[in-house]
Structure 1
Amino acid sequence: MPYSIMLDAGHGGSDPGAVYNGRQEKDDTLRLVLAIGEILQNNDIDVEYTRTTDVYETPYQKAMEANEAGVDFFVSIHRNSSPMPNQYSGVESLVYDLSGIKYEMAQNINAQLETVGFVNLGVKARPNLVVLRRTRMPAVLVEVGFINSDTDNLLFDNNFNDIAQAIADGILDTLNVGAVEDEMHYRVQVGAFRNSTYANRLLQELIEMDFPAYIDDSGQYDRVQVGDYMTLAEAVQMEQRLKRAGYPTVIVSMT
């Protein structure tokens, strides 16, 4: 089963986003999202969009659209802005917290954009952002350069296709698309404990709820994990089930 992703072009309609010398963030993000989506579709990813035209929806509406669509991932494209023109430049990605596959995807996207020429400002946790807090699937918000940086705008315009490819590659690298899947398997980790009593308590709780849980005690901690999946898509589905049940989760890859 192919992976599915919802791409969100930041702002739109009555909300132009950041504006600089007549340039509007909503236009840059829409153009870029459509280019990224085409690349992902050509790599057998099911792509949906929060918007494909110049319309406005609240961040909450966008998060609910993703939840209702049941997609595996959510990626929102924006452009940054600073108080003063040409004060900063570079790309950064935002996630709810610095863990799991969303963090890995954000790092991969930033790394790919750095090869295009952007300064890599890193990945930051922003748990207060609605599209990161209210989405049920792994979500990443990418700030593709500063719209009030002449350097970043020149890079954006002169390397547009490379930027779209870089973001798509960061996503595809995370999903291991094209990799040999029997060399990699995935588990969903729910907790890691020094005290085995706590690990066993959580294990029994999960088993009573019919989750295929067990304890991996091969390392320093007793790690309570669920499943052993040959594809990332299966692990993501289980992660979503566990999150709906109220458990914190991290997908871990094994070779």
Structure 2
Amino acid sequence: MIIIDAGHGGNDPGAVANGVKEKDWTIEVALHQYEFLKNLNIPCAITRTRDIDLSSEKRSALVKGSGASICLSNHYNAGGGSGAEVIHSIYAKTDLAGSIAEALKKAGMGVRRVFSREGADRKDYYYMHRLTGDVETIIIEYGFLDSSSDVKKLKSRSYRLQLAEEAALASVRYLKGTPIPKSLYYVQAGAYKEKASADQLCQKLKKHGYDAFVKKV
């Protein structure tokens, strides 16, 4: 299961630059990711579906209690810089974060760095890593709102949604080794009792440029 997080919201606008409030774009891409994953029959949840305040405690509790394996926390950056940043827990391997970064790069968004950050207490600096329990939370900064080169790309809504889809698909591919029951058809992104459903999902993934296969187990 994947839980989608729309960063900021309500009285917290997040980064603001070039006429854009981060919270508006994060809810946009989060809702798109959520519907995108549902259409692929991937179990998923979302932390907020509208412009509301979510405290760090409430947001992290929603993620921790979701039963998800992965959380994608959507953000946009500011403060000088250019390119996407993908941030993982200090306790996590770089595999998932690196896969997401590579997917964004292939979609045409430069990647500034993939990293983790340790706080003064030698624990994760970001509460979305520190307070979300066993969920592998990935913070995705899709670009800088105060970067002219980034905003030139990100001003296109279709491109923002494309990047969101690529991040979601990278996560689905990462989960492909999850054990599944017997007598189902195995697809990289899901499992079905009916082969026709498995074939349909396989074709959707191929249309997005990913190698996909169907296997009966």
The normalised TM-score by structure 1 is 0.63
Q: What do residues 25-67 of structure 1 show as CA deviations (whole Å, max 9, x unaligned)? A: 0001110111111221122212211111000111221111112
SS in 1 for 2:64: helix
Distance 2:188 2:5 in 1: 27
Does the CA contact (< 8 Å) of 2:104 and 2:167 recur in 1? yes
Distance 1:171 1:130, change over 3 A: same
Match of 2:127 among 99, 121, 130: 130
Q: Relative to total residues, which structure has the larger strand share, 1 or 2?
A: 1
Q: Which residue does the alignment assign to 2:25?
A: 28
Q: What do residues 105-141 of structure 1 show as CA deviations (whole Å, max 9, x unaligned)? A: 1111111111121111221112111111111111110
SS in 2 for 1:176: helix
- Residue 119 in structure 1 maps to residue 110 in structure 2: yes
Give the partner amino acid of 1:99: A
Does the CA contact (< 8 Å) of 1:94 and 1:123 recur in 2? yes
- Residue 179 in structure 1 maps to residue 179 in structure 2: no
- Residue 6 in structure 1 maps to residue 15 in structure 2: no
Match of 2:62 among 56, 61, 65: 65
Distance 2:105 2:87 in 1: 16
Give the partner amino acid of 1:107: G
Distance 1:169 1:97, change over 3 A: same
Q: Which residue does the alignment assign to 2:137?
A: 139
Q: Which residue does the alignment assign to 1:168?
A: 168
Does the CA contact (< 8 Å) of 1:107 and 1:122 recur in 2? no
Q: What do residues 197-228 of structure 1 show as CA deviations (whole Å, max 9, x unaligned)? A: xxxxxxxxxxxxxxxxxxxxxxxxxxxxxxxx
Distance 1:94 1:179 in 2: 24
The normalised TM-score by structure 2 is 0.74
Distance 1:180 1:167, change over 3 A: closer
- Residue 48 in structure 1 maps to residue 45 in structure 2: yes
Distance 1:44 1:67, change over 3 A: same
SS in 2 for 1:131: helix
Distance 1:10 1:180 in 2: 25
Q: What do residues 223-249 of structure 1 show as CA deviations (whole Å, max 9, x unaligned)? A: xxxxxxxxxxxxxxxxxxxxxxxxxxx
Unmatched segments (≥5 aa) in structure 1: 182-255
Q: Percent identity?
A: 29
Does the CA contact (< 8 Å) of 1:16 and 1:25 recur in 2? yes
Q: Which residue does the alignment assign to 1:231?
A: none
Q: Which residue does the alignment assign to 1:191?
A: none
Does the CA contact (< 8 Å) of 1:98 and 1:124 recur in 2? no
Taking only aligned residues, the RMSD between alpha carbons, in angstroms, comes to: 1.9
Which protein has the larger Cα radius of gyration, Structure 1 or Structure 2? 1
Q: What do residues 169-195 of structure 1 show as CA deviations (whole Å, max 9, x unaligned)? A: 2111211282399xxxxxxxxxxxxxx
Distance 1:167 1:147 in 2: 19
Q: Which residue does the alignment assign to 1:152?
A: 150
1:146 offset after TM fit, Å? 0.4
1:98 offset after TM fit, Å? 6.0
Distance 1:180 1:172 in 2: 5
Distance 2:32 2:86 in 1: 19
- Residue 93 in structure 1 maps to residue 86 in structure 2: yes
Give the partner amino acid of 1:144: Y
Give the partner amino acid of 1:121: R
Distance 2:170 2:57 in 1: 26
Distance 1:62 1:38 in 2: 20
Mean alpha-carbon deviation: is it higher for 171-180 or for 156-165? Answer: 171-180
Distance 1:63 1:17 in 2: 17
Distance 1:139 1:180 in 2: 19
